[in-house]
Chain A
Amino acid sequence: MSDAGNKINKTTQKFGLIIIFTMLGFGLAIVANIIFPQVAEDVSLEKYAVLGLNLNINDAYRIVLAGIISIYGLLGVYAYVKPERRDQYIKQAKFRFVMGLALALWDLLGTKLEVLPQPFFPGPAGIIRAFLMESDFIWQNTLYSLRLFTAGFLAGVVFGIGTGILIGWFPKVYYWVAPILNITGIIPAVAWMPFALTLFPTPFSAAVFLMVICVWFPVASLTASGVQSTPKAQFEVARTLGGNELYLLFHVAVPHAMPQIFTGINTASAFAFTTLVMAEMMGQPGGLGYYINASKVWSAYYKVFAAIIVMAILFSLITRIVKLIESRALRWQRGLLKNE
């Protein structure tokens, strides 16, 4: 018994060390930022009033690092309590440690020494300046992007599934609509931009139109192929059970097509991110793409980086949500496929 107890003690002890190791990289980044002198002279250490505090870029950078450290610390404690989470945490430890060191190195080269070509490659603290200066404006543009994405993406998915079902189910619709879908589908949606901007009353509705087009194609064609590939035997089963045409369509063909519909939605979301940013860069009064364009004109590349970071967070959140809905809708597949 004491042997087993010892073993558990040792592994929990070791896990404690791994939590510290995970946080250590970012800790070193804070230390490097504090003790390394500011060699390059044209970096502004002007203070900004944020949330009642007066912060310069280095203060804000250290607060962000401290935030990262506490998040990984909490995740570590959570994994400590839930042993089934530990393997994942241990696996990430090395990467997180090196990420901290990389930030430290980037900080020295980008901000402290300015060895990297300026103003194209600011240090991490330099990028944070964008958030100190105009977090409200960034937030407004983020919301604009989110609104545009939600409207265009949802409308495109609904419209795509609708046409996909019609194309897949009715041979006549297939005959007349499939060629149009195949030709318009391969054209990048932003190519319609000039028309969209003149035909639609507002830039927002024009952009929604472009998003709908780019989402429509992959969702419609994969929905159609999913419906068409339903085995005849499944329809025969449904008919002997007393199902009518509507039942065959909505209770056999559509559920059978569901995995392919989600493949279409996943592909579409990647297209939609591209279309969203391009549409915003070309003719929107707001959005992260607009923010990038507006910042570029003033050579404020640190703001471009800030917008890119927000996009990374926003788009990966959206991708997560789509994946979550997918795994709920397709939970009958769990254990049926290779990777789950």
Chain B
Amino acid sequence: MSDDIILEINDVSRRYSDEESTVDALNHVSLSVKKGEFVSIIGASGCGKTTLLRLIAGLDTPQEGELLLNGERITGPDPSRGYVFQQSGLFQWLTVEQNIASGLKARHVFKENKARIPEYISMIGLEGFEKSYPHQISGGMAQRVAIARALINNPKLLLLDEPMGALDSFTRADLQDKLLELRKENDATMILVTHDVDEAIYLSDRIVIMTPRPGKISEIMEVKFPHPRHRGGAEFLEARRNILEKFHMAAANPEPEYTI
């Protein structure tokens, strides 16, 4: 393996079982992610994309195989792997500022890093909302706060679990641009789970297509053309056509879940 591999997923399987049935959420999945790379995972619901992300975060453990971050086995959650949830998961009782600070407080490094908070607030463009509570700001703003809260811990890896799924299309486009900006500024490796094909093309260096029952990787596609990517451009449309074709070929389920 070359030196710039940050994350290695080796032959990982995860089953969920109850009295009646067993679900193969992930079946022998392997994947490597390079430092600084933006990888999107797309697929129909039930293909195990969120399960895979939760394994990387350490919120769940596999029954077979292993996950390595910089060669070290992942055994539990750690702030070096920031996680942004589908619903922002902001603490309702803390202000925007305090929510961003909560990452520092949890690691007991608040005092020495206090001065960095304004920087992250301006990075996500929320100046003037420092003292607002989560219910007083919009869904898009809340997700930006959640991203800043994860980034202030200087994660090696930022894991994004459909963070834009609940947002309207304008807010979503706005947040996508913000993500690209943040990526440049923070030099972070990002893994995004989404069911939005356009979003994946707009943001990623590589797109991992997964299929359900059992959950596995069916295809990995590189997106090579440069940023900023124009959503109506020929290369963009070509990439989208490619992905949709692969979806139809690969899908056991003829009705993939995606939005255009």
A236→B102 CA distance, assembly (Å): 13
Tell me which residues across on chain A come within 8 A of B149, comparing CB atoms: 241
Total residues of chain B contacting the partner, CB 8 A: 28
Residue contact A252 to B59, C-beta cutoff 8 Å: no
A240→B76 CA distance, assembly (Å): 9
Q: How far is the CB of B137 from chain A (nearest CB, A)?
A: 12
Tell me which residues across on chain A come within 8 A of B57, comparing CB atoms: 240
A297→B223 CA distance, assembly (Å): 94
Q: Does A181 contact B (CB under 8 A)?
A: no
Residue contact A255 to B87, C-beta cutoff 8 Å: no
Residue contact B77 to A252, C-beta cutoff 8 Å: no
A274→B86 CA distance, assembly (Å): 48
Answer whether A332 and B106 are a contact pair too, CB < 8 Å, given A240-B79, A241-B79, A242-B153: no
Q: Does A237 contact B (CB under 8 A)?
A: yes
Interface string of A236-265 (1 = CB under 8 A from B): 111111111001000110011010000000
Answer whether A242 and B89 are a contact pair too, CB < 8 Å, given A236-B59, A335-B135, A336-B135: no
Residue contact B89 to A234, C-beta cutoff 8 Å: yes
A180→B135 CA distance, assembly (Å): 39
Q: Does B83 contact A (CB under 8 A)?
A: yes
A237→B106 CA distance, assembly (Å): 11
Q: How far is the CB of B36 from chain A (nearest CB, A)?
A: 21
Please name the residue on chain A nearest to B77 by beta carbon.
A239
Please name the residue on chain B nearest to A252 by beta carbon.
B91
Q: How far is the CB of A99 from chain B (nearest CB, A)?
A: 40
A332→B105 CA distance, assembly (Å): 19
List which A113-136 residues lie within 8 A (CB) of chain B. Answer: none
Residue contact A233 to B87, C-beta cutoff 8 Å: yes
Provide the main secondary structure of the chain B interface. loop
List which B72-88 residues lie within 8 A (CB) of chain A. Answer: 76-79, 81-83, 85, 87
Answer whether A240 and B81 are a contact pair too, CB < 8 Å, given A335-B135, A335-B136, A336-B135: yes
Please name the residue on chain B nearest to A233 by beta carbon.
B89
A237→B81 CA distance, assembly (Å): 12
Tell me which residues across on chain A come within 8 A of B153, comparing CB atoms: 241-242
Residue contact B91 to A247, C-beta cutoff 8 Å: no
List which B21-79 residues lie within 8 A (CB) of chain A. Answer: 57, 59, 76-79
Residue contact B133 to A247, C-beta cutoff 8 Å: no
List which B81-132 residues lie within 8 A (CB) of chain A. Answer: 81-83, 85, 87, 89, 91-95, 102-103, 105-107
Tell me which residues across on chain B come within 8 A of A237, comparing CB atoms: 83, 85, 89, 91
Tell me which residues across on chain B come within 8 A of A332, comparing CB atoms: 92-95, 133
Q: How far is the CB of B141 from chain A (nearest CB, A)?
A: 16
Q: Does B209 contact A (CB under 8 A)?
A: no
Tell me which residues across on chain B come within 8 A of A336, comparing CB atoms: 92, 133, 135
A273→B28 CA distance, assembly (Å): 65
Residue contact A242 to B103, C-beta cutoff 8 Å: yes
Please name the residue on chain B nearest to A254 by beta carbon.
B93
Q: Does B207 contact A (CB under 8 A)?
A: no
List which A256-299 residues lie within 8 A (CB) of chain B. Answer: 256, 258
Answer whether A241 and B87 are a contact pair too, CB < 8 Å, given A255-B93, A332-B92: no
A16→B83 CA distance, assembly (Å): 62
List which A216-247 residues lie within 8 A (CB) of chain B. Answer: 233-234, 236-244, 247
A251→B91 CA distance, assembly (Å): 9
Tell me which residues across on chain B come within 8 A of A242, comparing CB atoms: 77-79, 103, 106-107, 153
Q: How far is the CB of B95 from chain A (nearest CB, A)?
A: 8
Tell me which residues across on chain B come within 8 A of A234, comparing CB atoms: 89, 91
Tell me which residues across on chain A come within 8 A of B103, comparing CB atoms: 241-242
Tell me which residues across on chain A come within 8 A of B197, comparing CB atoms: none
Q: How far is the CB of B191 from chain A (nearest CB, A)?
A: 13
Residue contact A241 to B106, C-beta cutoff 8 Å: yes
| Contacts beyond the supplied A240-B57, A241-B102, A241-B103: 13 A-B pairs with Cβ under 8 Å | A234-B89, A236-B77, A236-B89, A237-B85, A239-B76, A240-B78, A240-B83, A240-B150, A241-B149, A255-B91, A255-B94, A332-B93, A332-B94
Partner-B contacts on A (CB < 8 A): 233-234, 236-244, 247, 251-252, 255-256, 258, 332, 335-336
